[in-house]
Amino acid sequence: MVTATLRPSTVLVNETVILHNVAHALARLDAGTELFAVVKADAYGHGLLRVARVAEKAGATGFCVAVLDEALALRQAHFTQPILVLGLIEPQYAPVAAANHISVPVASAAWLEAALPLLTSEKLPPLAIHLAIDTGMGRIGFQTIAQMQDALAVIGKQPECFDVAGIFTHFSTADEKDTAYFEMQARRFNAFTAALPKRPRYVHVSNSATSLWHAACNGNMIRFGVAMYGLNPSGHAIPEVPYALEPALSLVSQIVFCKQVHQGDAISYGATYRASGDEFIGTVPMGYADGWLRRMQGFHVLIDGQFCEIVGRVCMDQFMVRMPKAYPAGTPVVLVGQSGDQSISLQDVADYSDTIHYEIACSLAARLPRQSV
Ligand code: PLP
């Protein structure tokens, strides 16, 4: 993927804000509880290595990623902390994980059976595994204690090949006001941990929402994701947060072309927009190939502290806005962030697109350069 550094469309990442968000979360943890920064999906679009460096500086003691390649990218950048891959890897890659001291989740005895013969080399350290428990998320994990015990029996065949470093679950409703389902999942999780012969080093259940709004089920590590980036995990559902979350990401561009059009003149593919009189139209060099999707037609950007409507269809690499006057090429455009007294948040973009801010942040394409501010 080519990153477009010679174009004014840029994702700005405020590192100080990330530092503060992590510090706030750490300050609320019990002594001995660690924070692993969730930096999967290019740190939710904010830039993997940049965010990892800031989180480390702020006191994160480990990282969570989604896929093995992200973990290897951290190792290649010389991060030595524990790294946990949250998604299942294929057994054939177990030796790569072990050789790089990367922890992986295990959700079945069959996976262990398949990985075991690949891990017997004396040159490999034991593979660190975290037992994934499906307490109600319905995604990955042991559904019954018997299944978990079958897996432990496989490990017992050659215990030198595995290090049972953790046990964890994931809540599906931690960001909702009604806590009944959450409490059911917590009860189930506690039953699984009680059935373990030995408590592993890491017992963890908390994503951002759990860390903000729930007690931590005897956990000693939190997997801190979206709140590190300053976004409320619940969207609008639970506006009350124990500390102010400050968004770290802004998205900016510039007008590259300005023109006057007249009544009836059409803008963009399909000629879906027609000027209702004399209008100033600016062209912004960003489009759906950058993650600014077609559905953003009719939304707005900020120019000079004023909301300007996105008119006509968003193209692959450009879109047009109606401006109150002629603004020359080079005029700053804010797609997400502050301009004058006005602001547009990722949540606003998500609301307009009928989705969640997680999806908007992760959809910002690799073509957009990330720049620290
Ligand atoms: N833990 C697991 C297993 C996850 O899948 C995720 C994110 O999807 C997280 C933690 C982090 O969640 P959040 O970004 O809501 O903090």
Nearest ligand 1 atom to alpha carbon 86:
3
What's the one-letter identity of residue 36?
F
Give yes or no for a contact between 327 and 257, defined as CB atoms under 8 angstroms apart: no
Q: Quick one: pLDDT band at residue 207, thresholds 50, 70, 90?
A: very high
Mean pLDDT for the stretch of residues 275-303: 98
Give the per-residue pLDDT at 217. Answer: 74
Tokens of 292: 């600014």
pTM as predicted: 0.97
Give yes or no for a contact between 283 and 257, defined as CB atoms under 8 angstroms apart: yes
ipTM associated with this complex: 0.99
Give the per-residue pLDDT at 122. Answer: 85
First to last CA, the chain: 23
Give yes or no for a contact between 83 and 74, defined as CB atoms under 8 angstroms apart: yes
Ligand 1 center to residue 38 CA distance, Å?
7
Mutual angle of helices 145-157 and 180-194, in 10-degree steps: 30
Pocket around ligand 1: residues whose beta carbon is below 6 Å from it?
Answer: 38, 86, 170, 207-209, 223-226, 233
Q: Strand, coil or helix: what is 299?
A: coil
List, for residues 141-160, the tens digit of each pLDDT value: 999 999 999 999 999 999 99
d(CA 152, CA 196): 9
List, for residues 297-349, the tens digit of each pLDDT value: 999 999 999 999 999 999 999 999 999 999 999 999 999 999 999 999 999 99
Quote the mean pLDDT of the chain. Answer: 97
Helix spans in 83-207 (H): 94-99, 109-115, 145-157, 180-194
75: Cβ contacts below 8 Å, ≥ 6 apart: 83, 100, 101, 102
Tokens of 60: 């994160």
List, for residues 109-144, the tens digit of each pLDDT value: 999 999 999 999 989 999 999 999 999 999 999 999
Nearest ligand 1 atom to alpha carbon 233:
15
Give the per-residue pLDDT at 87. Answer: 98
Q: Quick one: pLDDT band at residue 296, thresholds 50, 70, 90?
A: very high
Give the per-residue pLDDT at 219. Answer: 93
List, for residues 235-274, the tens digit of each pLDDT value: 999 999 999 999 999 999 999 999 999 999 999 999 999 9
Pairing mode, strands 62-65 and 266-267: unpaired
Task: State the burial class of residue 306 (Cβ atoms within 10 Å of its Cβ: 0-12, 13-18, 19+).
Answer: middle
Q: Which of 134, 140, 169, 170 to mutate to test the pocket of ligand 1 (most atoms within 8 A of CB)?
A: 170
List, for residues 27-78, the tens digit of each pLDDT value: 999 999 999 999 999 999 999 999 999 999 999 999 999 999 999 999 999 9
d(CA 373, CA 147): 49
Q: Is the pLDDT of residue 218 over 80?
A: no
Ligand 1 center to residue 266 CA distance, Å?
44
Tokens of 271: 């000629």
Q: Quick one: pLDDT band at residue 186, thresholds 50, 70, 90?
A: very high
Q: Shortest CA distance to 362 belongs to which of 344, 349, 372?
A: 349
Give the per-residue pLDDT at 79. Answer: 98
Q: Is 289 left (phi over 0), alpha (psi -120 to 50) or beta?
A: alpha
Mean pLDDT for the stretch of residues 264-286: 98
CA distances, 330 to each of 6, 185, 254, 257, 327 (Å): 13, 53, 5, 9, 8
Query: Active-site residue among 57, 157, 259, 269?
Result: 269
Instruction: Say whether 40 is catalytic.
Output: yes
CA distances, 348 to each of 44, 78, 284, 296 (Å): 17, 37, 19, 11
153: Cβ contacts below 8 Å, ≥ 6 apart: 109
Distance of CA 166 to the CA centre of its chain: 22
Instruction: Say whether 269 is catalytic.
Output: yes
Give yes or no for a contact between 204 and 223, defined as CB atoms under 8 angstroms apart: yes
Ligand 1 center to residue 264 CA distance, Å?
49
Give yes or no for a contact between 116 and 161, defined as CB atoms under 8 angstroms apart: yes
d(CA 126, CA 196): 19
d(CA 140, CA 135): 10
Q: Quick one: pLDDT band at residue 215, thresholds 50, 70, 90?
A: confident
Mean pLDDT for the stretch of residues 167-184: 97
Task: Give strand pairing partners of 254.
Answer: 332
110: Cβ contacts below 8 Å, ≥ 6 apart: none
What's the one-letter identity of residue 176?
E
